[in-house]
Amino acid sequence: MQPTQQYPFIFSDAPKYRIRRHLAFWGFWWLFQGVLYSVIGYTGTPTYSIRLLDSFCESLVYMIAHIFVGFMLMYFVIPRFLLKQKYWLTALWVAISFLGAAVISTILSATIIPEIQRVVMHDDVHRLYLRKRAIFEVHLALMAGLRGGITIGGIAAAIKLMKHWYVKEQRNLQLQKENAEAQLQLLKAQVHPHFLFNTLNNIYSHTQNTAPVASQLVMGLSDMLRFMLYECNQPQVPLEKELKMVQDYISLEQIRYDKNLDVHVDLPANTDNLAIAPLLLLPLVENCFKHGTSHMIDQPWLSLHVAIENNRMYVKLMNGKTNEVTRINFKGIGIMNVRKRLDFLYPGKHELTITDEEEVFIVNLCLELEKLPLTKKETSSYKLAYNG
User: Could you tell me which of 76, 78, 77, 71 has the C-alpha nearest to residue 25?
Assistant: 71
pLDDT score for 385: 36
Question: What contacts 235, CB < 8 A, 6 or more positions away?
Answer: 277
pLDDT score for 100: 94
pLDDT score for 1: 57
pLDDT score for 184: 63
The answer to whether 362 and 318 are in contact (CB under 8 A) is yes
The ranges of the chain with pLDDT < 50 are: 328-330, 376-388
Q: Across the strands, what pairs with 263?
A: 302
The answer to whether 287 and 332 are in contact (CB under 8 A) is yes
List pLDDT tens digits, range 228-257: 777 777 788 889 988 988 888 888 777 777
Buried b (16+ CB within 10 A) or exposed e, 244-259: bbbbbbbbbbbbebee
The DSSP string of 69-116 is HHHHIIIIIIIIIITTT-HHHHHHHHHHHHHHHHHHHHHHHHHHHHHH
List pLDDT tens digits, range 152-190: 999 999 999 998 888 888 888 888 887 777 766 665 555
Angle at 260 between CA 254 and CA 266, to 5 degrees: 55
For residue 382, the 8-state DSSP code is -
Buried b (16+ CB within 10 A) or exposed e, 196-233: eeeebeebbeebeeeeeeebbbbbbbbbbbbbeeebee
Which amino acid, one-letter code, is at 220? G
User: Could you tell me which of 301, 245, 256, 326 has the C-alpha nearest to residue 278?
Assistant: 245
pLDDT score for 384: 38
Q: Within a 13 Å sphere around the CA of 303, how many CA atoms are in the beta-carbon half? A: 10
Give dist(CA 347, CA 209) in Å, integer.
50
As a whole number of Å, the CA-based R_g of the chain is 32
The full set of domains in the chain, from first to last, is 3-182 (no CATH), 260-371 (3.30.565.10)
